[in-house]
Copies of this chain bind each other. A is one copy, B any other.
């Protein structure tokens, strides 16, 4: 008896005394760590040129302006900024968002807005109120991992529909839906999409597909989560209307974020939806975290009210345009001719497709070790297990000085790999 107590104390943390299998919920079985975050850990070493993290450029943070706003805030509104706030978010900020949304063509009142702990929380809460175990959710092939995992954590069954350079292939979606209906198979209740400067591919959904997608949602009675963190960072061309502007009955849920247009360190996103949904999400949020941090809400609200936000978005666009242009020029110069990539009109990402016989996940450790350069292997973004020969390149966080050098290293490495890894007969056929 004494021995066993000693043993249990010594091995705590090494060997479980508890049968966690019995105690953990069924939904933990499907939960998986984001492969992106694993890639970050590998890639965030200071000696590495990393195209992995889809983080905003730290040199872009409006530090001086935020410091001044913060100073004013602590002098005059500390009692609000440091206290608990309402679950829906601070009213002033909800008004400000409603106004911005209305300007963008979505007629929005403050009661259509809830502030969340990053738009990731809005995703979590929407899936919490929408998804029963086993129900299908439609994703693009590829799709943002956080959008996939949020639903998988509620035991959703992800279904993939292919994407091309015009965004989600709405025709392919319609075929899938028609087939499900015909076979009496379960129809999805939710489709998740990033219509502008897609994460991970950088592509933008065309105007005609936007209209058709919302019409399909009506026909097949599903909802759409329109996740738009990059929409304000258009670097060329004309903005397209949000999916939500085509919504006639409240089935499109619009998600916005201050992470990419202001700072991510305050974790502020928002959801625009009909009051019936806002109310459900609000009740779910009460149980999830009571409220979003007031300090960040007041900070961003004051920053925006002073006109600094729109000014800052202008600055960001020139920063990211220079970076994107540098990246695209370097890709043209240094990448082997067998490799293809997208031409994003905004956002943070370029998507690279290698010949089919190359596996980007297998290649990564060599690139890190030999060339001190990193990316995120694209396979993690595919709910159907495909896409092994794809790469997400985030140009947002790499310095202008490192951009060409990093892509040169990538090109050199891929060149070597293309001439050392021989395709099997079947793979060579597929990639032809």
Contact = CB atoms under 8 A, between A and B. Distances in A.
Contacts of A283: 31-33
Interface string A378-397: 00000000000000000000
Interface string A20-55: 101111111001111001000000000000000001
Contact of A267 (B81, B276, B291): B291
21 contacts: A5-B248, A8-B248, A12-B249, A12-B274, A16-B274, A16-B276, A18-B250, A23-B130, A23-B189, A25-B128, A25-B130, A61-B82, A70-B70, A71-B71, A81-B265, A85-B265, A116-B289, A117-B289, A118-B289, A120-B288, A267-B291
Q: How many copies does the complex hold?
A: 2
A129 B25 contact: yes
Given A83-B264, A146-B287, 4 more contacts: A19-B221, A23-B221, A25-B132, A27-B132
A374 interface: no
Contacts of A345: none
Given A63-B74, A87-B37, A189-B23, A124 B250 contact: no
A311 B113 CA distance: 40
A121 interface: yes
Interface in A48-85: 55-56, 58, 61, 63, 66-67, 70-71, 74-75, 78-85
A194 interface: no
A17 B276 CA distance: 12
A266 interface: yes
A410 interface: no
A265 B131 contact: no
Contacts of A79: 58, 61
Nearest to A116: B289
A9 interface: yes
A272 B245 CA distance: 46
Interface stretch (A292-300, A313-321, A414-422, A424-432): A292-300
